[in-house]
């Protein structure tokens, strides 16, 4: 009986030792597995997994009586909100995340009050602030200008607060994000605003005098009466001396010219610009004629013949450019050409699009000889005129559209529409009708009015320089 009891005791001890060994080996495997995964997470810069496997290393390392201080320190460095709760008797570790408690409203809501005082918006804080607490930027949407102030802080009464300043169309206040209060000022004109930081206060000032004095923008032109032509000519510094200008709207009728997306026809765009230019030049005292005033086909020979018959001082042909499908999204900008044998491949390509009416039977060398003979007397004056008109078009358009308007420059080109004109003559490409965004722009009435005003100013500049 004694032997049997002893054997049973030994068997139980061996069983317990075996279980303990198995548990220790399992914990050891888990520890090294967690260590391997932690190193992988560090290499991949994955912070979430780093925290996960560091927690496992602390738990398994504590149970295996290993020194886990470095893992605790690293875990605290990654996430300072984690706290360790250690139960020493069972060698267990728990993790608890600590969240900052708002002791008072002063801590939760950092902005005390927002109100209007005269022509200023006053923002009061509970604590001292610096320039990092405010960011300012401007936006333009359609015909509205926005001055936007992003202020660091929370304001309890952001939703019910209403701000109004005489001379500003609308002021909007909103808690844009948890720690960002946004104040936006909306107006028809670009406001002049500035801000002052004063200890616990930000003051946003608006220059109201600037707004009240500014007049509404008038349309670029109104169809003038005969009386208006006389009065404008008298008060205009430039004396036109009965200068005659012929404006040629390219293509027309059966010849639609280039076609853009959404059936935007070149013939329609250029006719609208030609009409706008007609009224602009009339208002400056010039005698102006159009080769066509409606959608009809006009031969190339007739266009310059009209200019010669009217003894014109200037001939301006208006067109819109186009590019191949492969380059349609890249090619854009305005260009001005004067008559001369083409020296660049680009000028030849553009000329090939426009020369679809006459002189098709002539050889290339014959065309170049004819161009040189016809153009010899007026090449210099045509070039000067092209430079003045190109620069004034760019100036007028960039005031409204900025860097979206690309300068294609002044170029030479064999445009047969200019052949036979006995006066300085140019061809203007008002933009690319094949370009997705520029096509929309040149089809808009605003763009057509602005570019026609720029061309008219260029004409005046040319005559002032070349009296």
- Predicted confidence at residue 212, as pLDDT, reads 44
How far is the C-alpha of 168 from the C-alpha of 116, rounded, in Å? Answer: 12
Each residue's pLDDT tens digit, 195-237: 889 889 999 998 875 444 444 444 444 444 444 433 333 444 5
- Predicted confidence at residue 233, as pLDDT, reads 38
Give yes or no for residue 346 having a pLDDT over 60.
no
DSSP code of residue 73: H
DSSP code of residue 417: G
Give the position of tokens 């209060």.
181
Answer whether 75's CB lies under 8 Å from 54's CB: yes
What is the pLDDT averaged over residues 289-309? Answer: 88
Answer whether 34's CB lies under 8 Å from 27's CB: no
What is the pLDDT averaged over residues 33-45? Answer: 81
The pLDDT-based confidence of 406 (bands split at 50, 70, 90) is very high
How far is the C-alpha of 50 from the C-alpha of 47, rounded, in Å? Answer: 5
Single pTM value for the model: 0.47
The pLDDT-based confidence of 20 (bands split at 50, 70, 90) is low
Give yes or no for residue 59 having a pLDDT over 90.
no
Answer whether 441's CB lies under 8 Å from 320's CB: no
Q: Between 399 and 345, whose confidence is greater?
A: 399
Question: What does the block give as tokens for 1?
Answer: 């009986």
- Cα distances from 210 to residues 135, 148, 406, 431, in angstroms, run 23, 19, 32, 36
Which domains does the chain carry?
A: 14-97 (no CATH), 105-213 (2.60.40), 226-465 (3.40.630.40)
- Predicted confidence at residue 10, as pLDDT, reads 64
- Predicted confidence at residue 230, as pLDDT, reads 38
**Chain centre distance of CA 73:** 48
Question: What does the block give as tokens for 392?
Answer: 């004034």
Lowest mean per-residue pLDDT among 84-93, 150-159, 214-223, 345-354: 214-223
Each residue's pLDDT tens digit, 329-339: 889 999 998 87
Task: Collapse the DSSP code of 56 into the 3-class scheme (helix H, G, I; strand E, B; otherwise coil) and give the result.
Answer: helix
- Predicted confidence at residue 320, as pLDDT, reads 92
Each residue's pLDDT tens digit, 418-433: 766 778 889 999 999 9
Question: What does the block give as tokens for 353?
Answer: 């699009």
């Amino acid at each position: 009986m004694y032997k049997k009891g002893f054997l049973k005791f030994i068997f139980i001890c061996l069983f317990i030792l075996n279980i303990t060994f198995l548990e220790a080996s399992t914990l050891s495997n888990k520890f090294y597995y967690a260590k391997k995964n932690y190193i992988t997470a560090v290499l991949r810069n994955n912070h979430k997994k780093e925290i996960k496997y560091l927690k496992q290393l602390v738990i398994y390392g504590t149970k295996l009586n290993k020194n886990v201080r470095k893992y605790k320190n690293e875990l605290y460095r990654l996430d300072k909100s984690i706290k360790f709760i250690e139960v020493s008797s069972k060698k267990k570790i728990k993790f608890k995340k600590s969240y900052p408690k708002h002791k008072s409203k002063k801590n939760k809501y950092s902005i005390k009050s927002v109100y209007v005082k005269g022509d200023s918006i006053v923002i009061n804080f509970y604590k001292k602030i610096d320039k990092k607490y405010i960011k300012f930027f401007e936006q333009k949407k359609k015909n509205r200008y926005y001055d936007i102030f992003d202020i660091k802080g929370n304001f309890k009464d952001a939703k019910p607060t209403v701000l109004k300043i005489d001379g500003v169309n609308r002021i909007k206040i909103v808690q844009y994000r948890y720690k960002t209060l946004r104040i936006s000022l909306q107006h028809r004109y670009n406001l002049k605003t500035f801000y002052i930081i004063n200890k616990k206060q930000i003051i946003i000032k608006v220059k109201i005098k600037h707004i009240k004095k500014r007049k509404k923008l008038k349309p670029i032109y109104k169809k003038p009466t005969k009386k208006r032509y006389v009065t404008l000519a008298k008060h205009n510094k430039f004396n036109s001396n009965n200068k005659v200008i012929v404006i040629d709207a390219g293509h027309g009728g059966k010849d639609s010219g280039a076609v853009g997306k959404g059936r935007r026809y070149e013939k329609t765009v250029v006719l609208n610009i030609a009409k706008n230019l007609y009224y602009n030049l009339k208002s400056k005292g010039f005698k102006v004629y159009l080769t066509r005033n409606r959608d009809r086909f006009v031969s190339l020979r007739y266009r310059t013949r009209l200019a010669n018959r009217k003894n014109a001082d200037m001939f301006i042909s208006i067109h819109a450019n186009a590019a191949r499908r492969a380059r349609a999204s890249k090619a854009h900008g305005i260009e001005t050409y004067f008559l001369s044998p083409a020296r660049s491949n680009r000028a030849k390509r553009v000329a090939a699009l426009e020369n679809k009416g006459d002189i098709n039977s002539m050889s290339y060398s014959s065309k170049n000889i004819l161009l040189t003979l016809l153009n010899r007397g007026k090449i210099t004056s045509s070039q000067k005129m092209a430079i003045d008109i190109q620069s004034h078009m760019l100036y007028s358009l960039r005031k409204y559209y900025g860097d979206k308007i690309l300068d294609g420059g002044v170029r030479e080109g064999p445009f047969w529409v200019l052949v036979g004109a006995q006066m300085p003559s140019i061809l203007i490409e008002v933009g690319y009708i094949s370009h997705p965004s520029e096509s929309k722009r040149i089809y808009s009435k605003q763009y057509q009015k602005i570019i026609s005003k720029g061309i008219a100013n260029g004409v005046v500049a040319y005559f002032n320089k070349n009296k």
